Amino acid sequence: MIASFLLSLREGLEAALIVGIILGVLLKLNRPEMKKSVWLGVWVAVALSLVAALILNLLGLKFEGRGEAIFEGVVMLLAAGVLTWMIFWMHNTAGNLKQEIELKTRSAVRGNGERALFGLAFLAVFREGIELALFLLAVQQTATPVAVLSGALLGLATAVVLGWLLFTSTMKLSLRGFFRVTNVLLIIFAAGLVAYGVHEFNEAGLIPAIIDPLWDINPILSDKSEIGLLLKALFGYNGNPTLTEVLAYVTYLVGIITYTFTRRPVGLETLKTAQPAQ
């Protein structure tokens, strides 16, 4: 539940920030009649994201045995790859997020108007929706569907409330602080996805285990216990991992931490409510 909550909060808040910035610019430009195109783009994107999530889940049900292990391994590694791209993108370019969206919104108002605003809102929300659908499918391999769904709904609800507060009050949010904390948690989560993906490929015979298991501490902390399942969902815990699984986890973790700590991020501004021009 915690993993799906964190992912949904992160993805939902990113979408809420972008939509809020677009609406804030329309407020400044005194073009409230164009808001309906923005909301139409949002709801169409949400609907298509739900369809994509349903298709991904139905696809997963078609596999059994070795095919299921390969499918789950591919989903895990694909989710880890998308999550890594998201972390890098936020680390390198998020400092200009507000200015970039404002420029695109002003350009849309001057150009194709409502059609361009629809596209801007749709692409922002649909991208986050597709990413979230893939992440939740990966989380579902290590948690119950009820826990994943409840965590996702709670995360999205929290994101909506935070987004609403940001743009209807004087509340401020430090993007630097928010994304720094969530990036650390997501890096560890992504490392777990990589390790779990390699584990599935070990079972499918696509990647040799070399040593299986490298250790076995399940008698002390079973990965099937409540705490073990929580650690598996959050950090990819496995009480009896293979050598290649551990190597994948450590290599990913060291590589991405080295990258993020040796590259100076673009300065992240504090986002606050956009006020209409007086």
Q: Where are the domains of the chain?
A: 2-271
| Inter-CA distances, 145 with 1, 64, 149, Å | 9, 18, 6
DSSP secondary structure letter of residue 144: -
User: Who has greater pLDDT, 199 or 17?
Assistant: 199
pLDDT for 275 beyond 50: no
* Residue 93 clears pLDDT 50, i.e. is over it: yes
Rounded average pLDDT over 7-24: 87
pLDDT of residue 24: 86
Q: Would you state the pLDDT for residue 95?
A: 61
In a 3-state reduction of DSSP, which class is residue 64?
coil
- Distance, in Å, from the CA atom of 246 to the CA atom of 244, rounded to the nearest integer, reads 5
First to last CA, the chain: 45
Here the tokens at position 153 are 């709904």
129-177: pLDDT as tens digits: 998 988 888 888 777 778 888 989 999 999 888 888 877 765 566 666 6
273/21 Cα distance (integer angstroms): 9
The pLDDT score that the predictor gives to residue 47 is 95
State residue 36's pLDDT score: 92
- Here the tokens at position 95 are 């400092």
Poorest-pLDDT segment among 84-88, 173-177, 218-222: 173-177
Of 245, 142, 233, nearest to 198 by C-alpha is: 245
